[in-house]
Amino acid sequence: MEENEAKPLKLEDLEIYNLAMEVGELAWGMVSSWEYQNRTHPGNQFIRAADSIAANIAEGHGRFFFKEKRQFTLYSRGSLLETKTWLVKSLSRKLVSEKQYQELMEKLKTLHFKINSYLKTFKGK
């Protein structure tokens, strides 16, 4: 590799991936303390959506074509919005505290903004 060539970015160097991993862990920590019935339906959906954000970023990062990378990033954004929905439902059902809600919602808002910015890098490619 020549000196002025850019090295490929590692997945772990992507800020959106690391933030998405944090989101998944926060969701897991919340749901793991819920009673069985709440863990099995809304909790399972909540965790799957939250974990899917990072999983789709990772899958897209591993793709060769920009169109595929963009598509998986869009899937990630869809999972983020689903996670927001489950978080709102969890608050209204009194499964999470206001503090937990605010902490995770803030991370989701930041991640949403950063994913949108990341998506702009694929325009015209």
Residues 69 and 13: their CA atoms lie apart, in Å, by: 16
Residues 25 and 31: their CA atoms lie apart, in Å, by: 10
| Domain assignment of residue 7, yes or no | no
| Domain assignment of residue 1, yes or no | no
Of 1, 19, 105, 11, nearest to 60 by C-alpha is 11
Task: Write out pLDDT tens, residues 47-58.
Answer: 999 999 999 999
- First-to-last alpha carbon distance for the chain, in angstroms, is 23
**Is residue 33 pLDDT above 60, yes or no?**
yes
pTM for the model: 0.90
Query: Where are the strands (E) in 7-72, listed by range?
Result: none
Domain span holding position 79: 14-120
Number of domains in the chain: 1
| Domain assignment of residue 4, yes or no | no
| Domain assignment of residue 2, yes or no | no
Tell me how far apart the 2 most distant CA atoms of the chain are, in Å.
57
| Domain assignment of residue 9, yes or no | no
| Domain assignment of residue 62, yes or no | yes
The CATH number of the domain where 96 resides is what?
A: 1.20.1440.60
| Domain assignment of residue 3, yes or no | no
Task: Write out pLDDT tens, residues 70-110.
Answer: 999 999 999 999 999 999 999 999 999 999 999 999 999 99
